[in-house]
C-alpha cells in the first residue's frame, strides 16, 4: 500500500514532451501529518530494488515482441543517445536531498514514458500479454515510488515543488518510430535504474 497523493497521478497523465514544475502536494506547503506511512522509507527502497531487478527482463521482452530488426540490432536501433532523458547527475556522495529530487525527476519522466510505451504496445502488440502485464506492473510500481518520494521530500525537506520534464510523445509517429522510441527509453531506463539503485539505496537503508 502506498501513500496516495491524488494530484501526482493527474500530473503524470501528461504525455506531451513538456517541462514544468510539478506540485507535489496541494496548497502552498506540506501537510503536517498523515502524508507518510511509517515504513515509507523501507517501501521506497524495495520499490527501487524491484524496478532494478526487473528492468532488464522488461527490456529483453520488449525487444523480442517487436520482432526484427529490434531483436537482432538492438544496439544500433535502441541507442538512447538520441532520446530526451532527464539528467541524473547524483552519486553516492551527493546530498540526500539532492538524490531525492533527482529521483523524483527521473521517475516522473519514466512514468510518463512507460505510459506512452504501454499505449503504443496495446495497439501494436495486443496479443503480447506478458509484455503488457510487465509494462502495467512497472508503471504501477513507478507510481507508487513517486508517491513515496513525494512524501519523503515533503516530510524531510519540506519540498513540495520539483521541476520535471516528460518524454517526447509518440502519438502520430509511425509504427517503426514508436517501437524505436520505446526501445530507446527502456534501454536508458535499464542503465539509469541501476545507477539510481546504487545511489539511492544507501540513503534509504535503515540506520
Partner 1 sequence: MMNHFIVLAVLLPLRTCYTTHSQQESTVFPVTYLNVSKELAFQRLLVEWDVGKSAHDAELAMSFEIQVRRTGETTTVWTEFHNVTLDKSGDPLHWMWDSDLPLECMSHSVRIRTKAEASKIWSEWSPWKTVLGLDTLNDSGPQIFPNEKIVEEGSDITLCCIGRKGHVIEEFSLYPAPHVFNHTNSQIGLLTLKNVAHQAVPHITVYCRESCTEEECYDHAVLFVGKPPNTPNDFSCETQDMRTVTCTWSQGGDTYLYGNHSPKYTLSEEFSQNPIPCTVTCSEQCSCSWDIGQQRIYNITMTVENPLGKKTAMDVFDVTHRIYPAAPFQLWEECRDTEITLYWKYQNKGFELFCQTEVVQPDGKVELHNSSDSHLHYASITLSGLQPYTEYTARVHCAAAQHFWRWSEWSEAQTIRTMEATPSGKLDIWREITQVQGGRNVTLFWKQAPGFRANGGSISYEVTWEKEEGGSKLERMSFSSACNSTRISIDNHSYRVSIMAKNDVNYSLPSVLIIPRGTGTEEELSGSELQEEQINGTDDGIFISWEPRHMYDSYIIDWCNFPTLQPCDLQWKRFRPNTSSALINSAAFVPGVRYNFHIYGSVGNRVSLLKKKTGYLRELPPLFDPKVEKVELTFNAVTLSWDSYPTNESQSGFVRGYHVYVSPIQEVCSLQGSKKHVLPDNSVLCKYTIENPEEKRYTVEHLLSNTKYKLAVKAYTGGGETPIVNFIYIDTPFNSNMLYLLVLLVIVPSLVAAICRWKLNWVKECCCPVIPSPNKSKVLSFKEFKNGSEKVLKISDCIPDMLAVDNKAETQELHPWSQLSSAPTEAKTDHNSSWIYPNENEERAFTHTPTHQTHTWFENFAYSSHFADESCPYQIPETLETGKPELSVVLYQPHYYFDIFNEDAASTPRETPGRKTSLRYISQTDVHCLGRRL
DSSP-assigned states of every residue in 140-188: HHHHHHHHHHHHHHHHHH---EEEEE-PPP-TTS-HHHHHHHHHHHHHH
SS3 state of residue 52: helix
| Residue 29 contacts partner 1 per CB under 8 A | no
**How far apart, in whole angstroms, are the C-alpha atoms of residue 61 and residue 27?**
42
**How far apart, in whole angstroms, are the C-alpha atoms of residue 115 and residue 122?**
11
Contact 17, 166 (CB under 8 A): yes
Q: 22: Cβ–Cβ under 8 A, 6 or more apart, which residues?
A: 8, 11, 104, 108, 161, 162, 163, 164
Q: Which stretch binds partner 1 (CB under 8 A): 88-96, 130-138, 173-181, 195-203?
A: 173-181
| Residue 4 contacts partner 1 per CB under 8 A | no
**How far apart, in whole angstroms, are the C-alpha atoms of residue 158 and residue 138?**
28
Contacting partner 1 (CB under 8 A), which of 56, 60, 94, 125? 125
Cβ proximity to partner 1, 17 vs 69, nearer residue: 69
Report the run of H or E that residue 19 belongs to, with start and end. strand 19-23
Cβ proximity to partner 1, 76 vs 89, nearer residue: 76
Minimum Å gap between C-beta 118 and partner 1 is: 13
Contacting partner 1 (CB under 8 A), which of 17, 176, 202, 205? 176
Cβ proximity to partner 1, 29 vs 72, nearer residue: 72
Q: Which stretch binds partner 1 (CB under 8 A): 9-17, 37-45, 65-73, 103-111?
A: 65-73
Cβ proximity to partner 1, 26 vs 175, nearer residue: 175
DSSP secondary structure letter of residue 80: G
Contacting partner 1 (CB under 8 A), which of 95, 123, 130, 163? 123
| Residue 75 contacts partner 1 per CB under 8 A | no
| Residue 66 contacts partner 1 per CB under 8 A | yes
Minimum Å gap between C-beta 58 and partner 1 is: 17
Contact 184, 106 (CB under 8 A): no
| Residue 17 contacts partner 1 per CB under 8 A | no
| Residue 133 contacts partner 1 per CB under 8 A | no
Enumerate binding residues for partner 1 (CB under 8 A).
65-69, 72, 82, 122-127, 174-176, 180
Amino acid at each position: 500500500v502506498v501513500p496516495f497523493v491524488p494530484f501526482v497521478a493527474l500530473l503524470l497523465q501528461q504525455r506531451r514532451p513538456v517541462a514544468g514544475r510539478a506540485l507535489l502536494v496541494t496548497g502552498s506547503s506540506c501537510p503536517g501529518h498523515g502524508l507518510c506511512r511509517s515504513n515509507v522509507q523501507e517501501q521506497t527502497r524495495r520499490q527501487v530494488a524491484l524496478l532494478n531487478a526487473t528492468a532488464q527482463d522488461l527490456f529483453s521482452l520488449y525487444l523480442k515482441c517487436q520482432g526484427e530488426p529490434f531483436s537482432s540490432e538492438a544496439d544500433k536501433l535502441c541507442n538512447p543517445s538520441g532520446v530526451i532523458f532527464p539528467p541524473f547527475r547524483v552519486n553516492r556522495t551527493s546530498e540526500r536531498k539532492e538524490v531525492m529530487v533527482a529521483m523524483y525527476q527521473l521517475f516522473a519522466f519514466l512514468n510518463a514514458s512507460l505510459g506512452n510505451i504501454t499505449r503504443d504496445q496495446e495497439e501494436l502488440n495486443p496479443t503480447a500479454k506478458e509484455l503488457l502485464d510487465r509494462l502495467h506492473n512497472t508503471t504501477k510500481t513507478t507510481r507508487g515510488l513517486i508517491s513515496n518520494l513525494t512524501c519523503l521530500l515533503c516530510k524531510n525537506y519540506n519540498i513540495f515543488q520539483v521541476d520535471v520534464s516528460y518524454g517526447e510523445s509518440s502519438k502520430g509517429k509511425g509504427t517503426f518510430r514508436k517501437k524505436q522510441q520505446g526501445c530507446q527509453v527502456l534501454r536508458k531506463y535499464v542503465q539509469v535504474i541501476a545507477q539510481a539503485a546504487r545511489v539511492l539505496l544507501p540513503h534509504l537503508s535503515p540506520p
